[in-house]
Amino acid sequence: MGATAGDASGLTSTVVFRLGTLGTVVTDRFTREIEGLGLKPKHVGLMAALGRAAVASQQELAARMGVAPSLMVSLADHLEDLGAVQRVRDPRDRRRQVLTLTEEGQRLLDRCTSMARTLDEELMAGLTEKQRKALAEALHVMAKRAGLP
Amino acid sequence: MGATAGDASGLTSTVVFRLGTLGTVVTDRFTREIEGLGLKPKHVGLMAALGRAAVASQQELAARMGVAPSLMVSLADHLEDLGAVQRVRDPRDRRRQVLTLTEEGQRLLDRCTSMARTLDEELMAGLTEKQRKALAEALHVMAKRAGLP
DNA sequence: TATTGTTATACTCTATAACTATA
DNA sequence: TATAGTTATAGAGTATAACAATA
C-alpha cells in the first residue's frame, strides 16, 4: 500500500470531476433528444427563464442566463422563427424588446420537460427512491448557492 | 394552483437540468483554477486516465476519453512540453506511441486533485455530512452506469 | 491493405467590438 | 451622452478528412 503514484482515484472521485463529466454526458444526451424540435440547450434555457419570469427584456434575460446580449439576439431570433416567443417593443422605452412565451412556446417547453423527466429516469435507474430524493435535494441546495434557478 | 402556464419549475428541477447547469458552472470554476498551471480540463482528464492506466497508447486513451485521435495529439503535445508525460514508441509495434505519466505529471495531477477537493468543500458548504455522503454515492453510481471513471 | 499517429481544414459556439435607434 | 438591441468579426475548442509511417 502507501502513496502509490499513479492512483488517480483522488481526482476522479471528487464532486467537481463527477459533476463536470456527468454534466457533459447528460447535456450531450439531452441535446440529441431535443434536436428533432429544432432546439439547442440554450434555447430551452431561455424558454425556461421566460416560463418563470413571464416577461423580460433581452438584456435582463442575457444577464440572468450569463450570456452575451448578442447571443440573446440569435436565441430570440430562432425561437421567434419557431413561433415560441413574441417580441414586443416596450412603449415606455422603445429601445427595449420584451419577450414573452407563446402558447406554442409553452408546448415546446412542456415537451422538453417531459424528455428531461424521461432522461432523469434513465439516469437514476440504479438509485433507490431514497437516494433519488437525497440527490435532488443536494443538487437543489448547490444550485441555489451557485445562483442558478 | 392549477396548471399555470409559465411555471417552468418543471424543467429546472429535473436532474438533467441541474447536472447540466451545475456541471458547466463547476467546470468553468475549475478551469480558472488550473489556468495558472498551464492546463485545461482535458489535460487533467488525460493525466487522470494515465494515472489509472499507467501506460496506454494514444488511440486507447482517445477512445477512453471519447475524443478524436487528432485532439489526443495536441493534448499529449502540450503535456509533453510541460514534462508531464513521456512518449515512447512501442518496440513491438512501432506505430504505437505509448504515454506514461512522469513524476512531474504526478505532481501536477496531485495539485489539481487538491484544487478539486477545495472546490468540493466550497460547493458542498450548504450540505450536511450525511447529504455529502449521499451525493457522492449517487454521483458514483450514475457515473459508473454512464461508463465514466 | 489496414492501422497509428499526425497535419490540414472546417465547423460550432460564443464573446468582443462596431453600429443603429432610442433615451 | 448613455443604453438596448443588432450586426460584423474574431477566437476557442474540437471534429473530419487527407496524409505518412508501419504493420
Chain C: nucleotides below 7 Å from protein CB are 3-8, 13-17, 21-23
Q: Residue A54 has what pLDDT? A: 80
Tell me: the pLDDT tens digits for B6-53? 434 599 999 999 999 999 999 999 999 999 999 999 999 999 999 998
Asked if residue A2 is part of any domain, the answer here is no
Residue B65 distance to chain A (closest CA, Å): 10
Query: How many degrees, rounded to 5, is the angle at CA A124 between CA A122 and CA A126?
Result: 100
B5 within domain boundaries: no
| Domain CATH for A24 | 1.10.10.10
Alpha-carbon torsion, ordered A56, A59, A65, A66, to 10 deg: -160
In a domain, A8, yes or no: no
- The residues facing A99 across adjacent strands are A56, A87
> In the predicted model, is pLDDT for residue B4 greater than 50?
no
pLDDT (0 to 100) of residue B9? 57
| Contacts of A25 by beta carbon, 8 Å cutoff, 6+ apart | B146, B148
The band of A7, judged by pLDDT with boundaries at 50, 70 and 90, is very low
What is the average pLDDT score of chain B? Answer: 94
Q: Which of chain B's residues have a Cβ under 8 Å away from the Cβ of A48?
A: 8, 11-12, 17
Residue A65 has pLDDT above 70, yes or no: yes
Percent of chain A with pLDDT over 70: 94
CB contact under 8 A, A22 and B25: no
The pLDDT assigned to A6 comes to: 40
B41 in a domain, yes or no? yes
Residue B54 pLDDT exceeds 90: no
User: pLDDT digits over A91-147, tens only?
Assistant: 999 999 999 999 999 999 999 999 999 999 999 999 999 999 999 999 999 999 999
User: CA A116, CA B70: separation in Å to the nearest integer?
Assistant: 33
Which phi and psi angles does A137 have, rounded to 5°? -65, -45
**B115 touches A12 (CB < 8 A):** no
Domain holding A81, by residue range, is: 14-145
How many domains is chain B partitioned into structurally? 1
Query: Is the model's pLDDT at B87 over the cut of 70?
Result: yes
Q: Is residue B6 part of a domain?
A: no
Check CB contact under 8 Å for A139 and B54. no
The set of cell numbers assigned to B61 is 486513451
DSSP three-state, residue A89 = strand
Cell, residue B121: 468543500
Flag whether B127 is in a domain.
Answer: yes
Give CA separation, B111 vs A20, B8, B103, B114, in Å.
Answer: 18, 40, 12, 5
Q: What percent of chain B has pLDDT over 90?
A: 91
Q: Chain B within 8 Å of A106 (Cβ-Cβ)?
A: yes
